[in-house]
Amino acid sequence: MKELLIKLKMLSIREAQLKNKRVLLRLDLNLPMKDGKLTSTFRLRAALASIRYLLARQAKIILISHLGRPQGFDKRFSLEPIILELKRHLKVPIFWTEEVLSMAVRKKAERLDNSEILVLGNLRYLPEEEANDLKFAKELASLADIYVNDAFSCSHRAHASIVGVTKFLPSYAGLRMEEEIESLDRLLTRHPKPFLMLVGGAKLKDKTDTLRNILPIAERVALGGGTANTFLKAQGEEISESLYEESLLDVAREMINHYPEKLILPVDWLVEYLPSGGFRISDVGPLTLAILEREIAHAKTIFLAGNFGISEDERFRGGTEKILRIMAKTLKRTIISGGDTVGLAEQLNLLSRFAFVSTGGGATLEFLAGKPLPGLEALKERCPYCRGAFGGKHPSFQE
């Protein structure tokens, strides 16, 4: 783990002096909710390791997160339900406010005791957050002594709490961040072969770069969901009114031609008939699932990103559920990612059965596309050792 962070040129929270320090801790507590109730607490539970690590070392935590995409202050995007959940897991004082920055916030931050937590209001109440406004970032930073990014799943966003703040504070990667980078980097560089990548989800647009990067690496890439439809259409299948992306037909054709043995497309599917007389592909069919079952049995590393059916509708979750259950039964290196997929695995009580569950959706796909993530780049730039200070020697560098 240490070696990887050195390779990535980041400092780990493990290397920080934490006692009596005010730590600005960026988490991704953007949890899915329905009717004001949390539908998954996975991301919150994934963040507990870093919180507990900081508390045990007598740091004072100033916790920051966004939730959803509010346009200005909006009580519907309050972190309150999430804080109530946090309180169920931690037995330390947790103070919270709807304000992001104010005199009261500053005073509270200054008076915080060791092993106490102050949670600020939803960062996206303020437009400065998404604008990566440096003045705002500086003010946020001024509340603390050090900054920890444990929000891997937000690190593809160049926002003030992810990028801007690192300009003003010594900046470290949190424990979950380390784990995410370690697991995904391993997938790109050191996975047991054969490697089977299963890519579903609604849109191919979000995944073309990931597919371009993964196709040369993986032994097999199986497609499902809306992502597969553009390929089916490119192959000349009748897909009626199914979701597909016209502008990506050539990309799909090119991939089919270039990787005919690697790409696995659905061979049968469930359809929903529409009032118009047309139909919509809504899930993969039994023959496809049988092929995938064989491929999973054959592979040593299996990664699933995105659902294989229109899973908002319970009738069309069967395919993804079957894939998850088969994956959960193998003892091989299995990884899943994406909010809908992880949410479904959580509902089925299967989360503990995977080798790794990524908190990221977009961030995971971008990492696997080989793209630099702004949040990780910012941590790299802030690593004093890697920037040449102290003779360029990273403290944990052993040779």
Binding residues for ligand 3PG (CB under 6 A) = 28, 30, 69, 153-154, 157, 361-362
Task: Report the amino acid identity of residue 3.
Answer: E
Backbone angles phi, psi at 373, to 5 degrees: -90, 130
Residues 6+ away with beta carbon under 8 Å from 304: 198, 200, 323, 324, 327, 334, 335, 336, 337, 341
Which of 253, 362, 371, 384 contacts Mg ion by CB under 5 A?
362
Q: What is the token pair recorded at 137?
A: 């970032």
| DSSP string for residues in 279-304 | EEEEEE-HHHHHHHHHHHHH-SEEEE
Residue 117 CB, shortest distance to ligand 3PG, in Å, is 20
Residue 316 CB, shortest distance to Mg ion, in Å, is 22
The enclosing H or E element of 37 equals strand 37-38
Is residue 81 near Mg ion by the rule CB under 5 A?
no
Residue 284 CB, shortest distance to ligand 3PG, in Å, is 25
The enclosing H or E element of 340 equals helix 339-347
Residue 374 CB, shortest distance to Mg ion, in Å, is 14
Q: Nearest residue by C-beta to ligand 3PG?
A: 30
> Which of ligand 3PG, Mg ion, none lies near 132, with the C-beta cut-off 5 to 8 A by kind?
none
Residue 358 CB, shortest distance to ligand 3PG, in Å, is 11
Q: Judging by beta carbons within 10 Å of its beta carbon (0-12, 13-18, 19+), is residue 75 exposed, middle or buried?
A: exposed
Rounded to whole angstroms, the Cα distance separating 321 from 292 reads: 13
Nearer to ligand 3PG, 69 or 258 (CB): 69
Residue 285 CB, shortest distance to Mg ion, in Å, is 29
Task: Report the amino acid identity of residue 65.
Answer: S
Nearer to ligand 3PG, 67 or 218 (CB): 67
Residue 211 CB, shortest distance to Mg ion, in Å, is 19
User: How many residues bind to Mg ion according to rule CB under 5 A?
Assistant: 1
> Which of ligand 3PG, Mg ion, none lies near 28, with the C-beta cut-off 5 to 8 A by kind?
ligand 3PG
Nearer to Mg ion, 68 or 370 (CB): 68
User: Of 38-77, which residues contact Mg ion (CB under 5 A)?
Assistant: none
Q: At what angle do helices 175-189 and 42-56 cross, to 10 degrees?
A: 120
Q: What is the token pair recorded at 217?
A: 């690496």
- Taking the CA atoms of residue 186, residue 192, residue 193 and residue 198 in that order, the dihedral angle to the nearest 10 degrees is -60
Nearer to Mg ion, 251 or 365 (CB): 365
Q: Using CB under 5 A, which of the segments 54-62, 194-202, 254-262, 358-366 binds Mg ion? A: 358-366
Nearest CA to 94 among 66, 116, 71?
A: 116
Rounded to whole angstroms, the Cα distance separating 380 from 166 reads: 10
Using CB under 5 A as the criterion, what x/- string covers residues 201-240 for binding Mg ion? ----------------------------------------
Task: Report the amino acid identity of residue 191.
Answer: H
Residue 326 CB, shortest distance to ligand 3PG, in Å, is 27
Contact 356, 335 (CB under 8 A): yes
Which strands make up the sheet holding 220-223, listed edge to edge? 263-264, 220-223, 195-199, 301-305, 333-337, 356-357
> Which of Mg ion, ligand 3PG, none lies near 364, with the C-beta cut-off 5 to 8 A by kind?
none
Question: For residue 164, what is the DSSP state?
Answer: G
Residue 110 CB, shortest distance to ligand 3PG, in Å, is 29
> Which of Mg ion, ligand 3PG, none lies near 154, with the C-beta cut-off 5 to 8 A by kind?
ligand 3PG
> Which of ligand 3PG, Mg ion, none lies near 324, with the C-beta cut-off 5 to 8 A by kind?
none
Nearer to ligand 3PG, 30 or 307 (CB): 30
Nearer to Mg ion, 30 or 320 (CB): 30
Nearer to Mg ion, 67 or 112 (CB): 67
| DSSP string for residues in 237-265 | ---TT----GGGHHHHHHHHHH-TTTEE-
Residue 68 CB, shortest distance to ligand 3PG, in Å, is 7
Q: Using CB under 5 A, which of the segments 186-194, 266-274, 345-353, 362-370 binds Mg ion? A: 362-370
Rounded to whole angstroms, the Cα distance separating 39 from 32 reads: 6
Q: What is the token pair recorded at 189?
A: 């560089």
Q: Using CB under 5 A, which of the segments 237-245, 278-286, 287-295, 361-369 binds Mg ion? A: 361-369
Query: Contact residues for Mg ion (CB under 5 A)?
Result: 362
